[in-house]
Structure 1
Amino acid sequence: MKTGVLFIHGFTGGSFEVRPLVNYLSSKTDWRMSIPILPGHDVTLELGKVSAESWLMEAELALRKLQKEVDRVIVVGFSMGGLIAMYLALRYKIDKLVLLSAAAKYISPRNLLEDMGIMLAESVTKKYPPNTFYHLYEYKLMHTPLRAIIEFLRIVKTVEPYYGRITTPVCIVQGKKDGIVPFASAEHLFKKIGSEKKELIKSELGKHHICYSDDCDNWFGEVFEFMKQKEFV
């Protein structure tokens, strides 16, 4: 049975936000990995004319494509991508959900960008060449228009009323040191989500960009075990 994993990055972000987990899974499996870039995102931000609908549609198209290529699909969503992952779970049959630092409550986008700057300076440079991502930070901070922030909040409001209708097995990973999405938000989501099978993994050292946490190797293994489990109905 062929497995595919769809990764959905966060607001103003790109594939680098989930790359460490992608690399980990690729080293352990032959699973098909899909990491679409949401409109207006990636190295050059063009967020002035994008919409919540365009982000949701891009994720839907990537999911449909992956479903044609594999037998079972796991969706991993980081931050805003966690909300989009839940949106997909409400509309499509997927096998597992993994929500990383899911933005289930209102967050400050500017604080998110500032946290990204800290993450790029402190964490990424430990594992990657110093200039791999850092040059993106100031650019992102200066090129995120109010319109894009409003569209981000529209996604929050679109998904929030329907947490209880989600029945997909879900694993929520949340950092205890996340200054963007408080740990209480993950606990709230864990209680509200309708899935019978659900797990909440705490990263004691995790900040918002949790795939770069100093203890990521610990929870990567826990998430992998969750992903491997087959559901029998």
Structure 2
Amino acid sequence: MRYKTWESYFYPETYNPATGQGTLRNLYGERDAKALARMEYGDTSARAYDLVHGQVRLPRTYDAAHIRAIHGYLFQDVYEWAGQYRGVNISKNVSTFADVHAGQVDRYLNDVHRLVTGTEWASLDHEEFSRASAEVFAYLNQAHPFREGNGRTSKVFMEHVAELSRFTLDFSRVNPEVWNQASMLSGPDLGRYEPVPDSLVPVFRVIAQPRATGPSNPSADMGRSAVRASYPQVTTEVTRRSSGATQQRLSRRPGRGQGSRGVER
């Protein structure tokens, strides 16, 4: 893999060692981070439109290959590593994601596959669907398989999961800040492996909307929400994993801290 170090993802002339940030290498050759964000948003939105309106049909295997195929399609115009796992560990705010070197990305994605295929989605009522969806997303979010574009990929994947049910997902019904906060709080407690999806359940209650025709196979009725799954932002929010980020997880959820749920499996 070409991208084995944190710095290797950036153009050297844009990289700031003090902040650990710069402009990600991209297929446009664009060195300006803000310009890259706009270009990325435009191209991935067009690709997402293809996916959610059934113009491109990806195999619904609900596994790592499925998730990588979504990312590969969305970001094929932007990054040469589209559809490939990240080669470095990352964190965001106080969230520390799966250790790619320890095989945790595949482990979490295997859990995603198990949860999706082991659920009778067509029989779930609104509350059951909200809880099941929150659990699936919590594991997928903790995997965070890619260096960039995890949010957009995850939302399209969840739309594909919703096809199996009597509900659709309208992400435009939730404020991005609320979504990001709930996602952050769903991470595992310190020393634990399992995500904690409780914070995501109310969010999925809001975005889960009844489907007029019941479980759907085609994705044409998935609506426009996945197209608007992200907003143009400079890709500097994700940082390399640090021990400080891990330590902050002790206090981010009241009543749940070190020792509350044992040691990681």
TM-score normalised by structure 2 residue count: 0.27
Q: Could you state the TM-score of these two structures normalised by the residue count of structure 1?
A: 0.30
**More helix by proportion, 1 or 2?**
1
Structure of greater Rg: 2
